[in-house]
Amino acid sequence: MEQKRPWLSLVVLIIILVLVFILDIYVPFDLPFLLLYLLPLFIASWKTGGRYLTVISVLTSLFLIAGSSFHYGEFQILMTLPHRLIEIGIVWFFYIILRQRIEAEDKLLKTNRLVETIIDSTNLCLAYMDKNFNFLRVNRAYAEADGKDQSYFTGKNHFDLYQDKENEEIFRRVVSTGKPFFASSKPFVYAQNPERGVTYWDWSLIPIKNQKGETEGLLLSLSNVTEQERAKLKADHFHKLLEALYSSLNEAVFFLDPVKMTIENCNQAAEKMFGYSKEEMIGQNAAIRHIDEDSYLQFHSSVLESYSKDGHFEAEYQMRRKDGTIFPCENYVTPIYNDNGELIISVSIVRDITERKLSEERLKAQNAEIMEEIEERKKIEENLKNTLENLERTNKELGQFAYVASHDLQEPLRMVSTFTTLLERRYGNILDENAKEYMNFVVEGAKRMQMLIRELLFYSKISNKEKVVEEVDCSSVLNTAINNLNAQISESSAKILYNDLPTIKADPLLITQLFQNLISNAIKFRRNGVTPEVNICCKEEENHFLFSVKDNGIGIEPEYFGKIFVIFQRLHLRDEYPGTGIGLAICKKIVEQHGGEIWVESFIGQGSIFYFTISK
């Protein structure tokens, strides 16, 4: 009401004062009415906070003077004026007392408001409680720390909200002894909110005492240092980790003063590498590691120069141990700056590279030996190349010789065979049985010789023949080979089986001869009483075609698997199995001409499988 209509209080006070004045006119009792005149002053100081105290005091003084004129004559007024002045003095005396009280209360109120503002604006958590630990007042920071409103705490007991036996014992001790308690980074877990985890607080508990020195309340001050403590724990953990790390390194680590270049700290590897104890090195100039003063000065200037250019220093040096021995090392120095960009420490990491240097020397020696071997091999390869060229030329000449010799030998053999046959026809009736037998030997020998020469001539043609590569239908050339062997197949009732064979890039005549020789061998070396059966298959692989020619013949002993592909090699007598011993050698030559291989798998009495590959 006072703030909305401040004039109303003044009107009420004036009305009261007028009523007192009217009573003063009709009832002339001075002392009681003086007390009534003082009543508006007390009301003005109590209800209006002294706002109208001066106005009421002036009006009261005027009403006191005016009241005298109604009770006394003009002469009597002059006689009673001192008495009224005393009453007016009493009014203003009370005015001064009330004004001083109002000003004191106003000053106290302003002070209290200032204190309240300071308390609520600080980030420090403050709580005021009685000696039984009931909250009387908490500030904004305290309430926000617990996520509550300030009014929530009033009247509640501290240990009903925060149950902690240790803290309760501390509170009771402060109340009983009257001595404050201080703690730093004290851990605390919210029992009602455990997901917040462990929090850390700096706190003080101050006893509030009355005039008798008795504790009547407590002021609790809390500062949340959880983040600082966690950062400190993290820094301590990192420091321990870093210390463990550099202590476990095989490299020597030195912490150097960047200005004086004195050794501030070092690890165990530094003690082991240089032969000094840590106590001997700390405080010493880094020069104790160098072979002489010049080496150290060069190192120092190079470090400072490298800091400004590259931000670090790295170089190979000769360093000295305590016993005077010199060893090669690699020194890496890096600067450490604080948040203000000031250089606070230099870290020097020294690696002993003695073994590396020895390895480099050994490697140089090995490289020299290898170069000598390479040169020697080049000479050998050159000689081998010349030898191969000579061998190739010789083989070519031998092939030509074999071809010429075979070709030229056929004519005399035909003459021997022809004339021997004519002798038998013309003079057969006068020759005895022995002579006829001898002549038969001559004819058969000439025929075998002709067959051998023909196959030898074909063998030599393979080596000298210009390579022909074209699309070859393997099924087609296989049928040609089968037709060429028609008489042998019919005589033995042999079965030739094959699946769909691929088209390859090869010489068709040579592939025909390859199939023909393998099938002919399969029929020739058959078992008695068993019908020959030959199965030809092919499988395509990544880089070649794999062919197989399987028979059910007599088989081959494993020790002869390689021997059968050598020219003129025979495993059986001519009377048992006729032939020249060149057929499989021709097969091997044909396969090699096509970039492939040929081999055999066989079991005695079960048959053989000849495998060969033809490159794609």
pLDDT at res. 261: 87
> Which neighbouring-strand residues pair with 262?
285
Handedness of CA 269, 273, 274, 276 (dihedral sign): positive
pLDDT at res. 430: 74
Which two tokens mark 63? 């009403």
> Which neighbouring-strand residues pair with 202?
223
Average pLDDT per block of 10 residues along the chain, 616 residues long: 55 75 63 66 68 76 66 49 70 79 76 71 86 91 85 90 88 92 84 75 90 89 86 79 76 89 90 92 90 84 78 86 92 87 88 90 89 88 81 64 59 68 72 72 66 63 69 93 90 90 91 92 88 93 93 87 72 54 84 91 91 92
Q: Rounded CA gap, 551 and 485, in Å?
A: 16
Residue 572: how many CB atoms within 10 A of its CB?
Answer: 13
DSSP H/E element including 609:
strand 607-615
Amino acid type, 109: L
pLDDT at res. 1: 37
pLDDT at res. 464: 58
| Best CA proximity match to 319, nearest among 275, 283, 282, 385 | 275
Q: Rounded CA gap, 343 and 337, in Å?
A: 4
pLDDT per residue as tens digits for the range 414-427: 666 676 777 777 77
540 close to 499: Cβ distance less than 8 angstroms: no
Handedness of CA 269, 274, 277, 281 (dihedral sign): negative
Q: Beta-strand (E) ranges in 160-312? A: 181-189, 198-209, 215-224, 252-256, 263-266
Which two tokens mark 586? 């021709």
pLDDT at res. 546: 95
32 burial (CB, 10 Å; 0-12 / 13-18 / 19+) is exposed
> Which neighbouring-strand residues pair with 336?
345
| Best CA proximity match to 64, nearest among 96, 93, 97, 36 | 36
Q: Which residue shows structure tokens 């703690």?
A: 183
Handedness of CA 360, 362, 368, 369 (dihedral sign): negative
Q: To 5 degrees, how large is the angle CA 43–CA 49–CA 51? A: 90
pLDDT at res. 591: 92
pLDDT at res. 24: 66
| Best CA proximity match to 197, nearest among 215, 224, 172, 175 | 224
Q: What is the dihedral of CA 579, 581, 584, 588, to 10 degrees?
A: -150
| Best CA proximity match to 556, nearest among 489, 604, 609 | 604
Which two tokens mark 569? 């090699």
pLDDT at res. 245: 75
pLDDT at res. 58: 78
350 close to 270: Cβ distance less than 8 angstroms: yes
Q: Rounded CA gap, 177 and 4, in Å?
A: 52
Residues 6+ apart with CB under 8 A from 540: 502, 546
Helix (H, G, I), strand (E, B) or coil at 292: coil
pLDDT at res. 82: 66
Residue 124: how many CB atoms within 10 A of its CB?
Answer: 15
386 burial (CB, 10 Å; 0-12 / 13-18 / 19+) is exposed
Q: Rounded CA gap, 324 and 316, in Å?
A: 19
pLDDT at res. 6: 57
